[in-house]
Amino acid sequence: MASESRDTLTMTDEEIRRRQRSRNIAVALSVAALVVIVFVVSIVRIKAGIDASAGR
Amino acid sequence: MSDTAYQSTAIEASGRPDRASFSVSKGAEVRDFVRLLKPRVMSLVVFSGFAGLFVAPGHLHPILAAVAVLCIAVGAGAAGAINMWFDRDIDAIMVRTRGRPIPRGKVAPDDALAFGTVLSLGSVLIMALAVNYVAAGLLAAAILFYVFIYTMWLKRSTPQNIVIGGAAGAFPPMIGWAAVTGDVSLESIMLFGLIFLWTPPHFWALALYRRGDYADAGVPMLPVVAGVRETKKQMLIYTLLLFPCAVAPYWMGVAGPLYGMAAAVLGGLFVLSAIAVWRDDSDKSAKRMFGYSIFYLFAIFGAMILDRGVGLIG
């Protein structure tokens, strides 16, 4: 278990690994979210382009 | 099982810690990185950015609008992370900021800088690709202004730091507006002016009751350099200047009478709170004014959104 004060931080190797794993999961989710955003934005813009060229 | 112990040497027993004295920390949690983004400040930025986007004439696909707001939020948060990286020495001294992730030794400074830089570049890039180049350019300008002009230059060199530096925080509604229209117009400049004039009384109210903190850190805030009386006078002047600027969107046709009335009432109360601060020798009214200033900005942009929403329904 970790015990923390303002100036000192002491924790076990297990706790450090747990936190690293949480950070890795957060990074993975962020990358996945970025991929989804780029994909969805691409679809929206392609559709807008098609609509514009069709004169709708 | 072996214990791994490591200390943050951020805060020395006396004097200002050197920027290089902050140790590497392996124990950062996800929430520490979230804290680097200054979530409370971000909420105000998101709200004002959304207001600019919502009241702007024209149409933006809802998904692109959501992406634009996300980019504004991430860009603002990223600038905050870089600000925390640069200010880690004075943050460790000030009571208000010593609990931040870097002074506590939870996030290593280099990690904070890398985090802020990557998010800054990513938010501007996505804004450019998904929305338009004008909005992306303004977002980049806001981040660069906050980091280089305010944080690195003005903050520690002049009591007018938050007057000029306040421009960085005034960009979001202008960015939101540009996301829809693709340009910078007089109306969006008025929205910029609203936050620009709101910033000095907001921060000086905080600086009045935290002036000891700022003095210890060597930050030349107005109450520290020019005194309490002069600060209160300046706060009153800015709230008086803000009043017509806040009502201007109504006169310019950007917002309707609902907003106009709200701006007049909220602005009047802001002036009254500045008068209360002027008359009060204690810090009580300054604390109250700081709280009200936050409410004011949420309420005035909320009124703008509501007014526009009613107009769309009607």
Helix, strand, or coil here: A3? strand
- Residues A37, B26: C-beta atoms closer than 8 Å: no
CA angle, corner B225, sides to B224 and B228, nearest 5?
Answer: 60
- Residues of chain A with Cβ-Cβ distance to B126 below 8 Å are 34, 37-38, 41
B244 CB contacts (<8 Å, ≥6 apart)? none
- Residues of chain A with Cβ-Cβ distance to B33 below 8 Å are 23, 26
Helix, strand, or coil here: B4? strand
- Residues of chain A with Cβ-Cβ distance to B8 below 8 Å are 7-9
Nearest CA in chain A to B67: A37
pLDDT tens series, chain B, 314 aa: 333 333 344 444 445 565 555 555 567 889 999 999 999 999 999 999 999 999 999 999 999 999 999 999 999 999 999 999 999 999 999 999 999 999 998 999 999 999 999 999 999 999 999 999 999 999 999 999 999 999 999 999 999 999 998 899 999 999 999 999 999 999 999 999 999 999 999 999 999 999 999 999 999 999 999 999 999 999 999 999 999 999 999 998 889 999 999 999 999 999 999 999 999 988 899 999 999 999 999 999 999 999 998 877 76
CB of B291 within 8 Å of a chain A CB? The answer is no
Transcribe A6-51 into DSSP letters.
SSEEEEEHHHHHHHHHHHHHHHHHHHHHHHHHHHHHHHHHHHHHHH
Calculate the alpha carbon distances from B312 to B17, B55, B59, B262 in Å.
55, 10, 12, 18
Q: Which burial class, exposed, middle or buried, applies to B304 when counting CB atoms under 10 A from its CB (0-12, 13-18, 19+)?
A: buried
CB B145 within 8 A of CB B120: no
